[in-house]
Amino acid sequence: VSLGRVDDFSHDGTVTTPPPRKRRSTPPGFHTFADVVTQFADAADSLLHGELSHPFLVGSEALGDQAARSDHEGTQSKQTLLTLATQQVAAGFEQTDLLLGVAAVLRADTVTLPPFPLARTSAVIAAKAWYVLTADSREERLRRFLNEELAALYDLPLPSDEEEAVTFRNDRTADYLAVGATAGLNPVYPKNRRPWDAPFLARTGQRKSEAPPSETQLMKDLYRASGVHGDDLAGMPYKLLSAAAHGRFRQAGLVRHAPVGPSVGGVVTAAKYVPLEVTAQVTFYAALATGTYLYALAQYTSVPESVVLERLQQPFADWFAIAHPATTA
């Protein structure tokens, strides 16, 4: 709850005590929307526990990766391709966990902004897994996976002056680079490299042109693949998700205020909130990202895409209807 400027003193100089602020209950529409988000997360979870839970079907790329797992050993890692395959399924559970978190906070009284960073995190996880899954070869899939592992390793808040932490990072780096070498991948180091700058793996002769895409570019590629085009792709959805996560809704005028108590010194006590339609529109992009990831996972595991479509179709449509009531009316 946000309180505007309040005069702390009365005209005669005595201290005044503001009246108690009332809690603003969550409107019923948010509970309905939370149910839809839960249904979507449950549908995705049922796929991950069911048809997509065993990725090594005959003829699948996942089975090919599993069969080649011993071809790419590092100094520590012995089955990197098997880890790659299983982690792409695990990424789905991370998304459903975050989406259930979105549903939970939608139901909470006086809670306004938490759904948005949760939705953004879910979408980023989906994009990173989708990027690995959609590689056009096993070697490229391995390269993308290892580069993400390297980036994650160097993003860890390890103290640079602690010998054990530095040794851990150096050993893991050597391991990933050794795995990459078995696929003909060469390490590329940033110019004027700092201790926290991660190397990346590139094919011979490619080097800088194969630097991992930025998170912004990765998200744009994901949403382009999901069918978002033109102005919608240029202005959203990544910018919208980021604006929500970084608290820029207020500057954009998307945060509203509702009176929750009497005025104090001429200033009305008000609670901030984001309208249901705006909340649904922004978080819908997390659902879109999860759906696109699940389609890619289905292709990787040789599961018919129709299985994913049938399971997600209704909760996806219900989510869209809340986000765009005029379109679906």
CB 71 within 8 A of CB 82: no
Please report whether residue 162 resides in a domain: yes
Please report whether residue 13 resides in a domain: no
Please report whether residue 109 resides in a domain: yes
Number of domains, the chain? 1
How many CB atoms lie under 10 A from the CB of residue 283? 28
CB 260 within 8 A of CB 303: no
In whole angstroms, give the CA distance from residue 295 to residue 84: 17
Containing structural domain, residue 34? 26-328
Q: What is the pLDDT tens value at each position of the chain, 329 positions in all?
A: 333 333 333 445 554 454 444 555 677 799 999 999 999 999 999 999 999 998 899 889 999 999 998 899 999 999 999 999 999 999 999 999 999 999 999 999 877 778 988 999 999 999 999 999 999 999 999 999 999 999 999 988 777 778 888 899 999 999 999 999 999 999 998 888 887 789 999 988 766 667 899 888 999 999 999 998 877 776 666 677 776 666 676 666 667 666 666 766 766 666 677 889 989 998 999 999 999 999 999 999 999 999 999 999 999 999 999 999 987 65
Q: Is the peptide bond before 237 cis (omega within 30 degrees of 0)?
A: yes
In whole angstroms, give the CA distance from residue 293 to residue 287: 10
Side-by-side strand order, sheet with 2-3: 2-3, 267-273, 256-264
pTM for the full model? 0.85
Which among 206, 208, 205, 153 has a CA at the least distance from the CA of 177? 153
CB 198 within 8 A of CB 151: yes
